[in-house]
Amino acid sequence: MNTTVAVADWIKRLADDERMRDTVRLQGEATTSRQADVNRRNGQRLISELRAAVTRDVAAFRDQFPNDGARAVVVEPFGPDGGFVARKPAGAAVSLTVTPNLLAAALVCHFRFMLSDGLPPREDRFDVTFADSTADPPLMRHHGTGRVFATADALSEFLLVPVLTGRSR
């Protein structure tokens, strides 16, 4: 004996709505996955370009002041994802730590200004996000101000002025 039960129209509509939601969710997950892949590829390239620009700019600055230990800024690798630290020694000691967060498509930037009067150091933290990771080169945006940097060179200048001068913005 074969028993067929008629499905109510509201159940059919509900099932169709659920199928549509599943399709939209899967498309969203695929888009998110593709965007994360683009962020990883472009982000790693961007970090490498920024580190190279910072290293080049620090060397050029040091060359302007040969034998001046107070301006002997160094750049060192930091962390597993290509981050780095730029340090200026005594006098107006400053450090800048740039830590990539490729999943969040951001660079965490942390300035630390050592004060000579015995007070605790002044610190400034902000994020630089990938504003448009599909652009070539990827655009970067200062999260706090909205300022956009089109090149690693432009971001290098923005980041290094406080380190090289020993003064925050």
Identify whether 1 is part of a domain. no
**Model's pTM, two decimal places?**
0.75
Identify whether 2 is part of a domain. no
Question: What is the arithmetic mean of pLDDT over 32-39?
Answer: 67
Map residue 100 onto helix, strand or coil: strand
Per-residue model confidence as pLDDT tens digits over 108-159? 999 999 987 778 889 999 999 887 655 666 788 888 888 999 899 999 999 9
How many domains does the chain divide into? 1
Identify whether 3 is part of a domain. no
Task: Identify the helix (H) or strand (E) that includes residue 131.
Answer: strand 122-132
| Residue range of the domain that includes 36 | 9-165
Per-residue model confidence as pLDDT tens digits over 4-21? 777 889 999 999 999 999
Identify whether 137 is part of a domain. yes
Identify whether 67 is part of a domain. yes
